Structure 1
């Protein structure tokens, strides 16, 4: 849902591990799951941090809501920050 353009996805695919980790911390990269359906579920449950530092849950390509502290904490634990 984030950076779903050909150029951005290509840049992410070519990124080094440290860059991918930073993108994953901010919710801009989602690790692929065993199936496309599971990857979509993971993407929908991943909060995204904007440049101002605010966290959002993306609901669609045009809708978002603020992420809860619990959602942010779960995500940061998943990526190994907390």
Structure 2
């Protein structure tokens, strides 16, 4: 399952998978472009980048910062059915 997480100011969509049995979560960054999508993926909690199609190194660095600041939320949401099923604290 893939869950929406947020949309950045440049309309890049961030989404994530459910948590796998090994505790990993795939995070996706993508934006439509001519001929398809620019996309990048990363695996949490290791922060291993697995794919980059069309993003500059500066954009990837910005995504890394976003991940470091949001990983705890994404990991929690991945366990509980996405942001829509988040519980209030």
TM-score of the two chains, using structure 1 as the length reference: 0.30
Task: From the two aligned structures, give the one with the greater strand fraction.
Answer: 2
Q: Using structure 2 for the length normalisation, give the TM-score.
A: 0.28
